[in-house]
Structure 1
Amino acid sequence: MWVEGTVNNTYIRRSLHTASWERAQGLAQEIESADDPKAPPPVKEAPTTLQQAVDEYLADAKARELADSTLAKLETIFKKQFLSWAKAEGYTLLREIDLRAIQSFRTTWKDGGLAKKKKQERLTGFFWFCIRAGWITTTPTQNLKRITVHQKPTDYFPREEYARIVDATYRLDDGMERAYDIDKRGQRLRALVGLLRWSGLRIRDAVTLERTRLLPNDDLFLYQAKTGVPVYVPLPHDVAEDLRNVPPGPKPNPRYFFWSGNGDPKSAVADWQRSFRRLFEVANLEKPDGTTKRCFPHMFRDTFAVENLLAGIPIDQVSILLGHKSVKITEKHYAPFVKARQDQLTASVRQAWQAMEPEKPKPTKRTRQAP
């Protein structure tokens, strides 16, 4: 496209370097409104591509020193899923993504309700990052409806079920051939079960636990609180001794109880999760209706929380041991479904009724007068 004419008594004839009629009209209007019509029209920055926006967002997340697990989730969502979907749908520019596009992308998610909810929150955070960067002015997720999550209360292992799980560690490899020593394998798993149950650690933190965290007095250093105060949890002596005497694994490392120290901790956790699947299969726990109870290693952490609540430990203290950012998180996950704790509260209220009942006045003796 070329432009030719007179502006401010100045003759103009030159190429606009575009084949788009809409773009040419816009450039012509800029020339008409310019103080110096001979000057070339201002060069506008190229629109931001989705690839550029995602790369800078992930680079910023890494610069904020987010956890490796969080960075891995962000890379999966935005690089492997979002960009792949955008390429298949023909989207290349950030400004092309609108509400309908986001709704279309959301229909491809195959996750559960809670995972979908978290993914949508991360997607919203990405577009707010783009707004702060000046690439867009509004977020396409602004009118995106929230995902409703019907989360079932997390189950736990009552004492008799926990005893059956421990017993199953002695029968872990009945009728199976293993290259690694069978007795040592069961002993290592038994030590890890005890650690998870009595410390409340997540499986990743337990698998990568360093030996120096266990003190001679059987206290286990959990973490450093935001206030700078270290948080400890005492372990039963037999659990602590099982940890100290845990046999080395196929690739031992004197620094750790259960990890070789090589490779990604995520791979080590995956190996132990396979062992737990076998353990729960041998334990064969059942629900009251006779169906098989679904079991996961994280339920040992839930057991730690529930048993402490049932023992009367205040929920704010349990929250500190679990490392929750707020006691509200602890209440959300545990207080609603611990019926036994509610039964205890009910019994306490009934006992209080007896103490609060006013004393009945004693009848006064009436004297008879002589006639």
Structure 2
Amino acid sequence: MLMKTTPFHPRLSELNQTGLYGHWAGYLSAPRYDLSSKHEYFAVRNSAGYFDTSPLYKYRVTGPDAERFLAAMMTRDVRRCRPGQAMYTVWCDDAGYTLEDGVVFRHSDDDWLLTAADPNLGYLESLVGRQRVAIEDVSDAYGMLAVQGPRSREILAKVAPEVEDLAFFGLTPAKIGAAPVTISRTGYTGDLGFEVLVEADDALGVLDKIIQAGEGNGLRPFGEDALMSLRIEAGLSLINVEFSSARFAFTDAERFTPKELGFGWMLGKGGSALGEDRPFIGRRAIERELRDGTSRWATVGLWVDWQEYARLHTERGLVVPKDERPVPWESMLYAGPDRDQRAGYATSLMYSPMLQRHIAIARVLPEYAAKGSTVHLELTVDHEYLSVPASTDRMPLFNPARKTSATARELSPISYRTEP
């Protein structure tokens, strides 16, 4: 099968200095455009970058029962998502295990868009029953461009003034040139940022206008390598890394509940955010887990002890490795006096250029979830298994005030934690 290309590909391919591409949902997707992904990473953190999110699956959900349909499927109460708003949520199976996560965009009372990393059309259609709902896969009909970073609002406001006062997770119709678009204040970098949804035929023209608006502001494209570093700092989960879909898992060890994945904030204390009058798939199992305290894991951020990490290398005559690329495997965590008791594992581990620390997203046993708990991260130095202390913390570890600031006038200097 030939790989598909996104509506932005003709222009982005001209900017790809590496000629490298990976595969994402059947589309070509660039791991990086520059010879170093760190250049792209710093563009997002210090100025602005744009990322082609078009391969995301996009489903339009319409009809008089659209809200009821989604509310009965989603774990989070999407009825609280008003027209002109977006909401991040997950959906589960009957046992309360997470199937997938995604974002719903509510355009009007009965017009929604759902984005997801994996295909869900068959599953969505299987839930319709007699409800007055239409499900349409519009994945190929639109391009989607994420414009992220501290200068993203300034840049987009030149071509779409509507973004100037757009609230966090708000969305608005606009025009860029003559092309109608929908702009949402969303993204996957944990920074100030926006996503532009545009019909495929208008995508190149919109991209060109955004690039032109970014001239002199350090705007540049960034690929998947930089995105992975950015999303770990932001504590954002990735399917098939932080969790597997319960739909494809062989055992319960590969399945996770929303609370175990760190999404307890979606549920509220004791399930108070679920909505008293809302039946949804997995509700009884989730309520039972919350009531009985049966969560097997907790998801936390980790700060690796930088002094001990450095010592383990320097005392062996080695240069201390500081690689922003996440390691592509799970890193084991231990506890106890002899560091031989299983404590969990890090799903995503990297060196953060902004925080100047090794950090991780980790899954730990509940007794190690409290902020400041110490675990020991396994690593290999000179072909020997060693361990380094790390302390747990709530996520995100990088959380600049500009991410949620109400308007450009409230944009404050960068703010993030560098110590646990």
TM-score (norm 1): 0.24
TM-score (norm 2): 0.22
Higher relative contact order (CA 8 A, sep 6+): 2
Higher strand share: 2
